[in-house]
Amino acid sequence: MVNRSFSVWFAGAAMLLSACADETEQDRTSKVKQPAGQPVIEITSHSDGERILGSREITFAGTLTSPSEITGVTLMLGDVTAPVTWDQATFSAALSLANRGNSISVAAANAAGETTAVTLEVSYPFLTFESGQNASLVIGQPDFESSDTGTGADQMMSPWGHAAYAGGILYLPDYGANRVLGFSSVPSANGASADFVLGQADFGLDVSGYARDRMDQPASVSADGDKMAVALQTERVFLYFSLPQATNALPDVIVGQPSFTGTESNCSAGRLNNINSVRLVNNKLLVADSNNHRVMIWNSLPTQDGEDADLVLGQSDFSTCSAGTGPNGMRYPNDVWSDGKRVVVADSSNDRVLIWNTFPTENGQAPDLVLGQKDLNASGSYATSASTFDWPAYVASNGNQLFLGDCGHRVLVWNSFPSANSAPADRVLGQGSFTGTDNLTTRSTMDCPSGFAFVGDERLLVTDWGGVRYLMFKSLE
């Protein structure tokens, strides 16, 4: 557009110079029409595809430039026109985002009759649930009342830990059958069959082992982009540098052992002892090293077998692995979650959840707050209420909400990320109330929920260990 405008201006100027060769520079300038062009809009407050965390109330803003006077600016959130403040150089609007997808369009017009429009898509991750809500789908069983076991493509032996959804593929750990089931697309009907299996040569097998092509008790899957990790409770983590998509696809690196056949378990920077969770995020690796009462952190993804961790939480150094309480201790941490900025740990045997508001940088660094207890010095309650737990097993967050799988047969939901000690949950799944303790196999109850996966923008997958199944819950709005 700049080149076109310049060409028009140059041609017009040349014609006038030819016709008015004797006129002064001032005369010539007054007769040359100034170039017209579209306004330029630059969004400075947000970026396309951004996930908005925290408050849904945002200020959307940017800058304006134009070769002629700006005569109007219009801003739309979805199909609704929003009030916008503007001048010749800037614009801004106070917006309240809807759950999940939001389309924001800005249009500017100038005195030359030229207009420009820019559209950004931003997301406000949020799932709307009501307490005691029914699940919409079950995987691993033909219906919501069955709890059979098996090693077929449509069965489970004992699901445990986080599933993962990445690249359109759903990965479900089956701890009891020493395998991870892969679904090439999200099931749309109860009792769907997996498309491939990891850790076994075929469906129907449940062979365990210590080798690159064998899994022993997989207890959580985590994916970040095109990379994936599988926590094997027997002291090891498998890393895949591309998402596996075929039966018995092999991992690239092992963490926690010097080789794929290693069986060491000790208290050191490179060894693990009974692990239940792994988290890949922003090229970092976090592992809940449960029997060593600590969380191990690699600040960059390991590329060689058996690499040492960079940081430890729950202990003062890598050679100490004792159970503890208080601000700096842990007792059988079963799970760890992070978005690369915050860290959350299910400190299970202390019946509490620990939260770091900024990513830790020191060994043994104390968390900023605690859930399930009145303060960081308290532990052990074994109670079921909105603010106390009965062995908290697994935690997850979409950035705005926090979800806790409590072996008191329920999932607790905080609709905003907790910011105070002992903050109560807002909703409960698996029970009709916060004090309910039913462990029946139905559409609305569960038995020791032990993991999560966010499936697209509208669904939450819950690992129902006692029900030998995975339950899908769909957001109500």
Return the CA Rg of the chain.
28
Query: Tens digits of per-residue pLDDT, 13-25?
Result: 333 334 334 444 4
The dihedral region occupied by 336, where left means phi > 0, alpha psi between -120 and 50, and beta the remainder, is: beta
One-character DSSP codes across 330-396: -SSEEEEEE-SS-EEEEEGGGTEEEEESS---STTPPPSEEESSSSTT-------SSS--SSEEEEE
Q: In 74-224, where does DSSP find H-type helix?
A: none
Nearest-angstrom CA–CA distance, 447 and 278 = 22
Question: Given CA atoms 9, 14, 20, 21 in this order, what sign does their dihedral have?
Answer: positive
349-378 b/e with 16+ CB inside 10 Å = b?
bbbbbbbbeebbeebbbebbbbbbbeebeb
Nearest-angstrom CA–CA distance, 418 and 342 = 12
102 pLDDT more than 60 = yes
415 pLDDT more than 60 = yes
Q: Cβ contacts of residue 1 below 8 Å, gap of 6+?
A: 37, 38
Query: Tens digits of per-residue pLDDT, 297-337?
Result: 999 999 999 999 999 999 999 999 999 999 999 999 999 99
Q: What is the pLDDT of residue 16?
A: 33
Q: In this predicted structure, which of 28-32, 279-283, 285-289, 290-294 has the lowest mean pLDDT?
A: 28-32
**What tokens were used for 175?**
């701890």
**What tokens were used for 235?**
């002291």
The dihedral region occupied by 212, where left means phi > 0, alpha psi between -120 and 50, and beta the remainder, is: alpha
Q: What is the pLDDT of residue 183?
A: 98
Q: What is the pLDDT of residue 76?
A: 98
**Lookup result for tokens 């309240």:** 96
Q: What is the mean pLDDT of residues 35-56?
A: 92
Q: How would residue 382 be classed by pLDDT, with cut points 50, 70 and 90?
A: confident
Is 156 in contact with 84 (CB distance < 8 Å)?
no
Which H or E element spans position 227?
Answer: strand 227-232
34 pLDDT more than 70 = no
List the strands of the sheet with 100-110, edge to edge: 80-82, 70-77, 100-110, 115-124
Q: What is the pLDDT of residue 29?
A: 33
Residue type, 387: S
Q: What is the pLDDT of residue 36?
A: 63
Query: Tens digits of per-residue pLDDT, 191-234?
Result: 999 999 999 999 999 999 999 999 999 999 999 999 999 999 99
Is 165 in contact with 455 (CB distance < 8 Å)?
yes
Which H or E element spans position 287?
Answer: strand 284-289
Q: What is the mean pLDDT of residues 22-51?
A: 68
12 pLDDT more than 60 = no
In percent, how much of the chain has pLDDT > 90? 90
One-character DSSP codes across 179-220: EEEEESS---STTPPPSEEESSSSTT-----SSTT--SSEEE
Which H or E element spans position 42?
Answer: strand 40-43
Is 120 in contact with 111 (CB distance < 8 Å)?
no
Q: What is the pLDDT of residue 308?
A: 98
Q: What is the mean pLDDT of residues 163-179?
A: 98
- What pTM did the predictor assign? 0.91
Q: What is the pLDDT of residue 40?
A: 97
Q: What is the pLDDT of residue 380?
A: 79
Q: What is the pLDDT of residue 1?
A: 35
3-state secondary structure of 63: strand
